[in-house]
Structure 1
Amino acid sequence: MVYKSFRFQLIGRLVLLLLTMFLFTHLNYSESYFFTKFLVFLLVFFQGWSIYNFLEKSNREIVHFLESIHYDDFTNTYPERKTGSSRDLLYHEFNEILKKFREIRADKEAQHQYLRTIVQHIGIGIITFDREGEVQIMNNAAKKLLGIKLIKNISQVARDHPALKESFTELKTGGRDLVKISKNEEEVQLAVYAIELSLREKQFKLISIQNIQSELEEKEMEAWQNLIRVLTHEIMNSVTPISSLAATVETELHEFLQTGSDVNRINDDTIQDFHLSLKTIHNRSESLIKFVSDFRNMTRIKHPTLANHEIEDMIKQILILLKPDIEEASIKVNCSVKPGLTANIDREQIEQVVINVIKNAVQALAATDKEDKLLTITAMPSEGGGAFISVADNGTGIEEEALKKIFIPFFTTKKNGSGIGLSLSKQIMRKHGGNITAKSQIGEGTEFLLKFAS
């Protein structure tokens, strides 16, 4: 609309100028009308100057308008006289555009304040800083957790809490760490997470900090209670019959000693009872010694010696080792391993974990009456880097309550199980920076997943 009006005015002015110039040219062929020629010449000059002024004024106003946008100055307003002229329409459009920019700025400012308020009030500490360590954001939770009121550079945090220096500088995107710091003469356990960001070709790092001291203490207490419950159960299973049998033997011998009976008069049945009781006491004592030995070994897992090993070769050798058990149980094996897949592991320790998991699956399948017993082993790269090994069976599955406890030391659902294997496997995987998890469905089977860090 504005463009059309401007175009019509310009064309009208140009047409008048051309007509005036035509008149001036026509008068030039006449030797008279000198005064008229002069007036027409002035009219041509005035019209040319008017067109120039018309264009220049429009250009100046457009330049001024664009400069306002360039410098984010949206406070200007252009006078609208409601005359319907092209300039009036142009001013109206300018005002509408500036009004839109003001609304956008107000919305952005409101959104910024909204997000800033959220960041300041969430319970997780957040710190962002650039490559030079200059801090852009540090919310109230971070200040409270670290006991710092004002900070300009991240080096101040490292100075007050040296344990955090490595986490803040070395952690990459997705990295996490557990750090102990001292605050008000108390130890606080912090979970530190990092994300690297790029904004307008500038690199930033976002660190989130969370106090997990109470959660850790609660989990530690729960773990101790579970362990004590299992230990108590296992020890009492051995100590109770030992105590009972010892008391029985002691009572019978005490009667002989009290009555002064001749030992030679003890009949064969009584001697056999004594022998059986002592044999049982010996067996339960040996079992208790083995239990204590297993418990001691669990706390002495050596630190893994890491190196890159091919997963496919390791799994092939394990399947050869367990082939007799697999064939005896008539189990079909479906193995899918990506060729060339490697992981940074201690092969000896991880072999122990994989053997334990596969043996559990084989034993679970051997105990079922299914005809199509299937053991599925998969090893592939993980999406976030690293690798995973999946061992799944189509056995009877594990009850939900038992599934929650299978990694607790000495907990077992097997009649002759020690309850050490999976707990040991969990510790080994953690020492590798990975994890082992299990999921199961009654009647459909169980899957164990070993995840290795990149």
Structure 2
Amino acid sequence: MAYSNNFKVNLIVRVLLIFCTCILLVDLFYTDSYTLTKVLVSCLLAYEIYVLIKYLDKTNKELAGFLNSIKYDDFTHTYTTKKTGTSMDGLYEQFNNVIKKFREIRAEKEAQHNYLRTIVQHVGIGIITFDKSGEIQIINSTAKSLLGVDLIKNVKQLKSVSEELVNSLMELKTGGRDLMKIEKKGEEVQLAIYAIELMRRDEEFKLISIQNIKSELEEKEMDAWQNLIRVLTHEIMNSVTPISSLAATIETELESQINAEDFKIENISKEDLTDFHMALHTIHKRSDGLIKFVSDFRNLTRIPIPQLEDVLICDLVRPILNLLRFDLEQNDINVNLDINPDQLMIRVDKEQVEQVLINLLKNAIQAMGENEELEKTKEISICAAVENDERVTVKIKDNGTGIDEEALKKVFIPFFTTKKSGSGIGLSLSKQIMRKHNGNISVHSIVNEGTEFTLTFPR
């Protein structure tokens, strides 16, 4: 405000002086004498106009210099005030205040930038950001360590590490993920890669996070082997133990009969023959069970590669409901079907996904059919929808008795079952089929409220 007032006063005084000089000069021109005075007053007027122009030009130059400093982010210059109370002192003081504010903003911005950069550099996950051409803006120390590189400016330089890795980084879209094996200094590294696409000032760039999950995979693999060995041991021992016991009993009995001095085949009683027959029948039955178990196990490991085609979800679900109509009616189960939109489509192997849906619906029917004490109306709801424009989910929910927490952890383990007549391979097979489709199957259950299975398919 002080600068503005001083500037106005200076400008008004100078204009008034020029105005007065002009009046004086006009008055002199109406007289025939005072020639020298006329010349001097004319020179004075010219000088006053020159000083006014110089005054305005100086202000404009200072303002242009200040704006150029802002334009080029140069806040090192400081304007010196003479403390005389002139208008220029006021202008310089305002300039210095603005420059000081810009310095504070820049310092705060740099501090924030350094703070975030320090976090990014020290976080335990590898982070890379790059633009469409692959030019890298940020790569933290963890990413460099995981990939075994030091100086790198473009993602394409990672071809020396793995060409497959470069292709994956360039092609992954928002929400995409990939598992990649690379070799670093003779050691195999298992990487989990996640991508997200972002915009910054109309410029597209991609943020990639990388984790070494080798130890986690090895731990999960060990747990899986232990669970599998436990199941195999249990199933095989259940069959082999009675076979071995009965075979030993028959051997002992026959040996005692054969070694008898008066042994004759006709001396073997009908009761003994009946026992032998029952024992052999049991051995035969348990052997068949063992063969079926091995066959089921083999089926789990021989799921063919999906033959993908575009399929309407309604065309998948309705024929299955028609197939299971007798079981549904026999158990008084209502089915609610909700597909949104009606023509929702997924790209899958139709036969394999039909098998998954049949497994889940049969489980729901059996779970509610076995519970005679269930008082509420038995219902199965099937809901299909698009989530976040990224994936399609199919949810199959029943209102049965649910699954207890301990059993819930094991439902996808091969041969684990809570049903008396169950084989324990349905859910494990379903999980493998969904993995083959780059999808997922998950379960949520509350005891006495019901169970919900969710199938997730990529779009």
Query: Within the alignment, does 1:364 sit opposite 2:364 as a pair?
Result: no
Q: How many residues align?
A: 454
Residue by residue, what CA displacement relative to the aligned partner does 1:217-243 show, whole Å, maximum 9, x if unpaired?
A: 111111111111111111122122222
Following superposition, the deviation at residue 163 of structure 1 comes to 3.2
| Residue in structure 2 matched with residue 79 of structure 1 by the alignment | 80
Report the Cα distance in structure 1 between the residues aligned to 2:203 and 2:337, rounded to whole angstroms. Answer: 47
Report the Cα distance in structure 1 between the residues aligned to 2:79 and 2:302, rounded to whole angstroms. Answer: 82
Asked if structure 2 preserves the Cα contact closer than 8 Å seen for 1:373 and 1:395, the reply is: yes
Asked if structure 2 preserves the Cα contact closer than 8 Å seen for 1:74 and 1:101, the reply is: yes
Report the Cα distance in structure 2 between the residues aligned to 1:447 and 1:160, rounded to whole angstroms. Answer: 43
* Larger mean Cα displacement after TM superposition, 284-293 or 164-173: 164-173
| Residue in structure 2 matched with residue 299 of structure 1 by the alignment | 301
| Residue in structure 1 matched with residue 319 of structure 2 by the alignment | 317
| Residue in structure 2 matched with residue 422 of structure 1 by the alignment | 427
| Residue in structure 2 matched with residue 196 of structure 1 by the alignment | 197
Asked if structure 2 preserves the Cα contact closer than 8 Å seen for 1:180 and 1:188, the reply is: yes
Q: Counterparts in 2 of 1:206-285, with a 5 A limit?
A: 206-260=207-261, 261-285=263-287
- Choose the corresponding residue for 1:449, options 444, 447, 454: 454
Asked if structure 2 preserves the Cα contact closer than 8 Å seen for 1:163 and 1:180, the reply is: no
Q: Counterparts in 2 of 1:2-401, with a 5 A limit?
A: 2-260=3-261, 261-338=263-340, 339-368=342-371, 369-401=374-406
Asked if structure 2 preserves the Cα contact closer than 8 Å seen for 1:388 and 1:452, the reply is: yes
Asked if structure 2 preserves the Cα contact closer than 8 Å seen for 1:304 and 1:346, the reply is: yes
One-letter amino acid of the counterpart of residue 90, structure 2? L
Report the Cα distance in structure 2 between the residues aligned to 1:340 and 1:161, rounded to whole angstroms. Answer: 41
Report the Cα distance in structure 2 between the residues aligned to 1:83 and 1:441, rounded to whole angstroms. Answer: 82
One-letter amino acid of the counterpart of residue 364, structure 2? A
Report the Cα distance in structure 2 between the residues aligned to 1:334 and 1:206, rounded to whole angstroms. Answer: 42
Following superposition, the deviation at residue 213 of structure 1 comes to 0.9
Report the Cα distance in structure 1 between the residues aligned to 2:294 and 2:5, rounded to whole angstroms. Answer: 96
Following superposition, the deviation at residue 151 of structure 1 comes to 2.2
List gaps (5 residues or longer) in structure 2.
none
One-letter amino acid of the counterpart of residue 433, structure 2? I
Query: Within the alignment, does 1:437 sit opposite 2:437 as a pair?
Result: no
**What is the SS of the residue equivalent to 1:208?**
strand
Report the Cα distance in structure 2 between the residues aligned to 1:326 and 1:17, rounded to whole angstroms. Answer: 105
Report the Cα distance in structure 1 between the residues aligned to 2:389 and 2:301, rounded to whole angstroms. Answer: 31
Query: Within the alignment, does 1:404 sit opposite 2:409 as a pair?
Result: yes
Asked if structure 2 preserves the Cα contact closer than 8 Å seen for 1:127 and 1:139, the reply is: yes
**What is the SS of the residue equivalent to 1:405?**
coil
**What is the SS of the residue equivalent to 2:173?**
coil
Root mean square deviation of aligned Cα: 1.9
Report the Cα distance in structure 2 between the residues aligned to 1:3 and 1:289, rounded to whole angstroms. Answer: 100
Following superposition, the deviation at residue 421 of structure 1 comes to 0.5
Report the Cα distance in structure 1 between the residues aligned to 2:13 and 2:323, rounded to whole angstroms. Answer: 99
Following superposition, the deviation at residue 374 of structure 1 comes to 1.1
**What is the SS of the residue equivalent to 2:121?**
helix
* Larger mean Cα displacement after TM superposition, 55-64 or 40-49: 40-49
Report the Cα distance in structure 2 between the residues aligned to 1:109 and 1:132, rounded to whole angstroms. Answer: 27
* Larger mean Cα displacement after TM superposition, 431-440 or 78-87: 78-87
Following superposition, the deviation at residue 52 of structure 1 comes to 1.1
Report the Cα distance in structure 2 between the residues aligned to 1:296 and 1:166, rounded to whole angstroms. Answer: 35
List gaps (5 residues or longer) in structure 1.
none
* Larger mean Cα displacement after TM superposition, 196-205 or 433-442: 196-205
Asked if structure 1 preserves the Cα contact closer than 8 Å seen for 2:161 and 2:182, the reply is: no
Following superposition, the deviation at residue 194 of structure 1 comes to 2.5
Report the Cα distance in structure 2 between the residues aligned to 1:254 and 1:93, rounded to whole angstroms. Answer: 117
Following superposition, the deviation at residue 51 of structure 1 comes to 1.6
Following superposition, the deviation at residue 35 of structure 1 comes to 4.1
Following superposition, the deviation at residue 289 of structure 1 comes to 0.6
Following superposition, the deviation at residue 157 of structure 1 comes to 1.2
Report the Cα distance in structure 2 between the residues aligned to 1:222 and 1:421, rounded to whole angstroms. Answer: 20
Report the Cα distance in structure 2 between the residues aligned to 1:146 and 1:190, rounded to whole angstroms. Answer: 9
Report the Cα distance in structure 1 between the residues aligned to 2:268 and 2:5, rounded to whole angstroms. Answer: 130
* Larger mean Cα displacement after TM superposition, 6-15 or 334-343: 6-15
* Larger mean Cα displacement after TM superposition, 384-393 or 37-46: 37-46
Asked if structure 1 preserves the Cα contact closer than 8 Å seen for 2:383 and 2:394, the reply is: yes
Give TM-score, length-normalised by structure 2: 0.94
Residue by residue, what CA displacement relative to the aligned partner does 1:374-398 show, whole Å, maximum 9, x if unpaired?
A: 1110011121423111000010000
Following superposition, the deviation at residue 66 of structure 1 comes to 0.7
Asked if structure 1 preserves the Cα contact closer than 8 Å seen for 2:367 and 2:400, the reply is: yes
Report the Cα distance in structure 1 between the residues aligned to 2:131 and 2:121, rounded to whole angstroms. Answer: 19
Asked if structure 2 preserves the Cα contact closer than 8 Å seen for 1:163 and 1:181, the reply is: no
Asked if structure 1 preserves the Cα contact closer than 8 Å seen for 2:182 and 2:189, the reply is: yes
Give TM-score, length-normalised by structure 1: 0.95
Residue by residue, what CA displacement relative to the aligned partner does 1:342-395 show, whole Å, maximum 9, x if unpaired?
A: 000011110110111111111112123223111110011121423111000010
* Larger mean Cα displacement after TM superposition, 288-297 or 232-241: 232-241
Report the Cα distance in structure 1 between the residues aligned to 2:155 and 2:54, rounded to whole angstroms. Answer: 59
Following superposition, the deviation at residue 191 of structure 1 comes to 1.3
Following superposition, the deviation at residue 253 of structure 1 comes to 2.4
Report the Cα distance in structure 2 between the residues aligned to 1:45 and 1:143, rounded to whole angstroms. Answer: 72
Report the Cα distance in structure 1 between the residues aligned to 2:84 and 2:330, rounded to whole angstroms. Answer: 100
Report the Cα distance in structure 2 between the residues aligned to 1:183 and 1:56, rounded to whole angstroms. Answer: 67
**What is the SS of the residue equivalent to 1:278?**
helix
